[in-house]
Amino acid sequence: MSIKLLALAGVLFWNSVVHGQAYPEMQVASVSVTDRAFVDESRSNWNGDGPRRIGVTIWYPATIHMPTEINEETRRGENRYPLIMISHGAQSQARDMHWLGDYLASRGYIAAAVNHNGSAEEERKLQHMTLSDFCMWVRPKDISVALDGILRDSLFGWFVDTSRVGAAGFSLGGATAIWVAGARFDIHNLGRHAPKPPEHLEADIARFVAYTKTDPVVKRFMTHSGDDYHDPRIKAVFALAPAIGQGFTKKGLKSIHVPVQVAVGEEDIIAPMSTNAAHYTRSISTALPLIVLPGERGHYTRPSGDGNSHVRELEEVSEIAYDFFEGVFGKK
């Protein structure tokens, strides 16, 4: 498969981002939010002059606070909370997933959204897609590294119930959540089905293709597309409008053994249901029946009606995700 075909695959998710709109509060309990940054010493940054840095935004019940003393009750893990690792879409950032993180935290979860994309400088100043979007297999390991950091964190390490850790994601992030649960990526299959990209991506594609031929860091990352990124700590997956379905064959999805819930807009034109959401659901033996939402809103690029309608749609999806995780994890 040519590198150009891989680059063309970016069109599958190029406009999958929820563009940082302001949504009303959907809380039923008080929520706090904070940021953390972790580094992965096993991978370099794109410049090759240091480790890969991974930012994380965490929403959590405001009742969580540092114990004044580490007593036996704390050590026994009483009052621990389920944790959901969240993966954003292409071109996006962790805080764009606040609509889901805030909803889950307001209902007794810790929700941690991972920043897969760095600054424009870190990503070599590609205009639309990023190097981390093109080399999409960096994402599942980002999730695992962030999870490691959270479990070691001086605050959250005391409060995460490690038996109730899940993953959720949107678009390319939905694929990432499935990936980290045990899927194996087939770059050649994705390349064979790559569509023609829009004109505005041509410059980014050309630069990326050049990097794959000349840049030692990018060339090194390219060799890891088919690695096993399964994290057995992930016990359940919710994927909204997951993309790049052509990158995961039925064989590549057979190793997933945790509950998976996929939801999608019935007329999603960015990640069409037949080759993405429906494909994942058919091919994963532990997947629940596909949830199909009316209209082309599964990708949130065309909000139906006014802004309030879009807010209600986001809240509906958040409720679906919450109900799914509750069904798997339940209350303790």
> What would the pLDDT profile of 185-236 be if each residue is shown by its tens digit?
999 999 887 667 778 888 888 999 999 999 999 999 999 999 999 999 999 9
| pLDDT for position 25 | 45
* 247: pLDDT strictly greater than 70: yes
Across the range 125-149, mean pLDDT stands at 94
Amino acid residing at 279: H
* 22: pLDDT strictly greater than 70: no
Q: What's the chain's average pLDDT?
A: 87
| pLDDT for position 6 | 44
| pLDDT for position 19 | 33
Q: What percent of the chain has pLDDT over 90?
A: 68
- For residue 9, what pLDDT band results from cuts at 50, 70 and 90? very low
Residue in the block written with tokens 């919710």: 238
Across the range 160-173, mean pLDDT stands at 97
Domains of the chain: 3-63+80-329 (3.40.50.1820)
Annotate 2-53 with DSSP letters as a single string.
Answer: -HHHHHHGGGGGTT------------SS-EEEEEEEEEEEEEE-TTSSSEEE
Return the structure tokens found at 155. 């605050």
Across the range 53-79, mean pLDDT stands at 79
| More reliable by pLDDT, 246 or 18 | 246
| pLDDT for position 203 | 87
Residue 292 DSSP class: E
Q: How many of the other CB atoms lie within 10 Å of CB of 177? A: 30
- For residue 13, what pLDDT band results from cuts at 50, 70 and 90? very low
| pLDDT for position 326 | 97
> What would the pLDDT profile of 255-276 be if each residue is shown by its tens digit?
999 999 999 999 898 899 999 9
- For residue 3, what pLDDT band results from cuts at 50, 70 and 90? very low
pTM of the shown model: 0.90
d(CA 9, CA 25): 36
> What would the pLDDT profile of 77-135 be if each residue is shown by its tens digit?
668 999 999 999 998 999 999 999 999 999 999 999 999 999 888 898 887 889 999 99
Q: How many of the other CB atoms lie within 10 Å of CB of 118? A: 20
- For residue 71, what pLDDT band results from cuts at 50, 70 and 90? low
- For residue 331, what pLDDT band results from cuts at 50, 70 and 90? low
